[in-house]
Amino acid sequence: MNEPAPPRYDAPLTRRDALLAGAGLVAAGLTASRAAAQRAPIPFGSAAQIETFREDPLYRDALKRYCDVIVPMNDLKWEALRHDRSRFDFSGADELVAFAQGNGQALRGHALLWGEALPPWAKAMTSRAEAERELIRHIEVVVDRYKGRIATWDVVNEVIKFEPTPGEPMRDTIWQRLLGPEHVEIAFRTAARVDPKARLVLNDFNFEEPNAGVVARRQIALDLVRRLKDKGIPIHGIGMQAHLYAENPIDTHGLQLFVEALGKLEVDVEVTELDVIDWKLPADAATRDRAAASLVSTYLNAVTTARPPRAIVTWGLSDRYSWIHETFPRRDTAKARPLPLDADYKPKLMMNVLNRYRRSAG
Ligand code: XIL
């Protein structure tokens, strides 16, 4: 395939628009609104799994064909990079970064700080000094290695408490226990120092459901942004994971107010881990695909009308491989259908919805 000039992550899409030209907008309920069709295209991407990437040429083809942005799914996590305390292992991440660069695709780095996917030695840290030293060193080494290649970093991942209680906004992790809420500032300050040109993002889940916990989570995100800004520490985006539960409604109004409030703080959003958890839906594949497409449509329409996200990234590309199979197994043991391509790499209705945002106007 003849590759056009590399797209810039922060610029409108200029390619791939024709690739799915035949797909059309299938279901009447999913017809693109005039407004959506007139908006500037949004870079689209996917998280890529190294094991699958190495084994399956069709998977590599799909990543190349559909994506403007690639996110190493697990290979930039501490567990992968820091299995040994003394030595960084960049083998998986390097492979995916080289692939993306070779295809002119942008990269998101996921994630510099997370309470999960830590090697045993990191979970066993005991003092503030040790945690601070390791965190700073980690961010220095990793961000420096990919400087100029990874344009955007999830600097912190899932730091907001799942169901926050008053006065307890932060998730209980080794970082929170040893460093307190300051772990967020340390991470952002260090990333900005090492790569002043990088886009720095706070990534978290569930900003979209209609319940009091989510209202609190959104407020905490806004407070964190304000606190960083007040201290002169750069933060450029909020990553909204968007692992959408098919059985739960979306609070479109609350979501829009959140995105608008972030805009007032001069912070963009990006959709970072989109997929649909279909474990409670009926078994029929067509029914599930329609429901998933409709949910994604509702979600993206809400976000995009408030303020277009910097990117839309799905957590995988094909139903052949997804964390949803293991993490949210169906009672009837049918395979989950969380992603825009089916297990044979054929585009599903969800891809038609994504095409509204991927395609250039007209
Ligand atoms: C998941 C990966 O998809 C799995 O392969 C891995 O076993 C566990 O982590 N939120 C995140 C992602 O920020 O890093 C998680 O990815 C899914 C939930």
- Cβ contact 146:109 at 8 Å: yes
- Dihedral sign, Cα of residue 85, residue 73, residue 238, residue 68: positive
Taking only the tens of pLDDT, the chain with its 362 residues reads: 333 333 333 333 333 332 322 233 333 334 445 455 557 899 999 999 999 999 999 999 999 999 999 999 999 999 999 999 999 999 999 999 999 999 999 999 999 999 999 999 999 999 999 999 999 999 999 999 999 999 999 999 999 999 999 999 999 999 999 999 999 999 999 999 999 999 999 999 999 999 999 999 999 999 999 999 999 999 999 999 999 999 999 999 999 999 999 999 999 999 999 999 999 999 999 999 999 999 999 999 999 999 999 999 999 999 999 999 999 999 999 999 999 999 999 999 999 999 999 853 32
Question: Given the CA of residue 243, which atom of ligand 1 is nearest to it?
Answer: 18
User: What are the chain's domains?
Assistant: 15-359 (3.20.20.80)
Pick from 79, 75, 234, 62: nearest CA to 150: 75
Neighbours of 325 (CB within 10 A): 16
Tell whether ligand 1 has an atom less than 6 A from the beta carbon of residue 277. Answer: no
Catalytic residues: 158, 273
Tell whether ligand 1 has an atom less than 6 A from the beta carbon of residue 116. Answer: no
CA 322 to chain CA centroid, Å, is: 14
What angle do helix axes 252-264 and 212-230 make, rounded to 10 degrees? Answer: 10
Q: List the beta strands (DSSP E) in 53-189.
A: 69-72, 106-114, 152-157, 160-165, 168-170
Tell whether ligand 1 has an atom less than 6 A from the beta carbon of residue 314. Answer: no
Rounded to whole angstroms, the Cα distance separating 357 from 13 reads 10
Q: For the whole model, what pTM was predicted?
A: 0.90
Q: List the beta strands (DSSP E) in 41-135.
A: 44-48, 69-72, 106-114
Rounded to whole angstroms, the Cα distance separating 268 from 141 reads 27
Question: What is the biggest distance separating any 2 CA atoms in the chain, rounded to whole angstroms?
Answer: 59
The DSSP bridge partners found for residue 108 are 152
